[in-house]
Amino acid sequence: MESQQVFSGKTVEEAVEAGLKELGVTREEVDVEVLEEGKKRLFGSVPAQVKLTVKPKLTDGERAVAFLEGLFERLAIEAVPTLREEDEKIVIDLATAEPNKGLIGRRGELIDAIQTLAGAVANTGRRDYKRVVVDCGSYREDREETLRHVAEKLAQKAVRLGKKVRLEPMNPYERRIIHSALVDNPDVTTKSEGKEPVRYVVIIPNRLKPYERRDRGGKDRGRYGDRKGGGNGKYGEKKPYPKRELPAEGTPQTSGTSFNRGGSGSGYKKGGFSGFFGTYLGNSRDAETSGETSPETPETPESDE
């Protein structure tokens, strides 16, 4: 039942402050109606008068509904929020003339954001958090059924492969659905990993196979591959280093490396080296001695033997 009282003061603000103090309420909890602005006359003055009407106290769910009504009005969204339940949890239904997809958004992102805001408003001033669910048509029910089906299917995959299976990031409400769907499954366990807003559920089989590294051909290999027997290792097949053959006896020594060998001896002789490296360009001292060649016309050197 609304309570109405009239209060006076020198100004409208003084009258309102006096009324709020006497009623023990805040400015947001009353409707103010100005009865007299207050005037100053030559002889005396007329006091200001206001009528304060205490608004009916809204429940947490009703406060959330009132917030959504103002939100949709500002966003020009034609949707009507209705409070369906307010016992263990607060459930608000959204009725819209347009298709639900425009209000739900991609993967429910829009309706989840609306639900988060409604939950924040409904739990303002509460010591214990009360869960708030905002639904549109049968979206929540259909989504829950889909998540349960996906959870069972991925659990079978995890058991078959013996590996962990990670689901896409979900909000806390949807992660709870996955956990509850597999809580009685004797072959797998579930846990949440990551940080918001990309926190996700991981399905872990009880018989988890050890990790095995395989190459592209599906064969097991070590860290650096198999280098023995021409295997397909990481760095390919190891090839032998080609040996360089010495030039045969009597071959013109115009390039490369040459060693002079004795007629009857074998191997390398100290002081018997007559070869060279690179291309021979002649020697000016030899040319002056023989008088037959010059630096400009190189010839093939003769052997010392």
Higher model confidence: residue 210 or residue 141? Answer: 141
Select, from the ranges 166-180, 226-240, 253-267, the one with the highest average predicted confidence (pLDDT).
166-180
- Give a yes or no: residue 120 inside a domain: yes
Phi and psi, residue 214, nearest 5°: -130, 150
- Give a yes or no: residue 168 inside a domain: yes
State percent of the chain over pLDDT 90: 38
Query: Which tens digit of pLDDT belongs to each residue from 13-60?
Result: 888 888 888 888 888 888 888 888 877 766 667 888 888 888 888 899
pLDDT interval class at 244 (50, 70, 90): low
- 29 and 48 in a common domain: yes
Element (H, E) at 218: none
- Give a yes or no: residue 284 inside a domain: no
Half-sphere exposure of 263 (CA within 13 A, CB side): 3
Rounded CA gap, 104 and 141, in Å? 13
- Give the model's pLDDT for residue 121: 95
Residues forming a β-bridge with 86:
90
Query: Which tens digit of pLDDT belongs to each residue from 134-171?
Result: 999 889 999 999 999 999 999 999 999 999 999 999 98
- Give a yes or no: residue 124 inside a domain: yes
State percent of the chain over pLDDT 70: 65
- Give a yes or no: residue 263 inside a domain: no
- Give a yes or no: residue 287 inside a domain: no
Residue 219, token pair as written in the block:
């064969």
- Give the model's pLDDT for residue 304: 42
- 68 and 34 in a common domain: no
- Give the model's pLDDT for residue 190: 97
Identify the CATH number of the domain in which residue 196 sits.
3.30.1370.50
**Does the predicted TM-score (pTM) go above 0.85?**
no
- 93 and 44 in a common domain: no
Domain count, the chain: 3
Identify the CATH number of the domain in which residue 121 sits.
3.30.300.20
- Mean of the pLDDT values across residues 189-205? 94
- Give the model's pLDDT for residue 242: 65
Range of the domain at 190: 154-205
Closest CA to 258 of 194, 303, 228, 226: 303
Rounded CA gap, 123 and 83, in Å? 15
**Cβ neighbours of residue 37 closer than 8 Å, sequence gap 6 or more:** 12, 48
Higher model confidence: residue 169 or residue 232? Answer: 169
- 67 and 101 in a common domain: yes
- Give a yes or no: residue 40 inside a domain: yes
Query: Which tens digit of pLDDT belongs to each residue from 169-188?
Result: 998 889 999 999 999 999 99
- 46 and 68 in a common domain: no
> Which of 185, 205, 225 lies at the terminal end of a domain, its last residue?
205
Asked if the model's pLDDT at residue 264 lies above 80, the reply is no
- Reported for 221-227, long-range contacts at CB under 8 A and 24+ positions apart, including other chains, are none
- Give a yes or no: residue 228 inside a domain: no
Residue for token pair 């010839």:
299
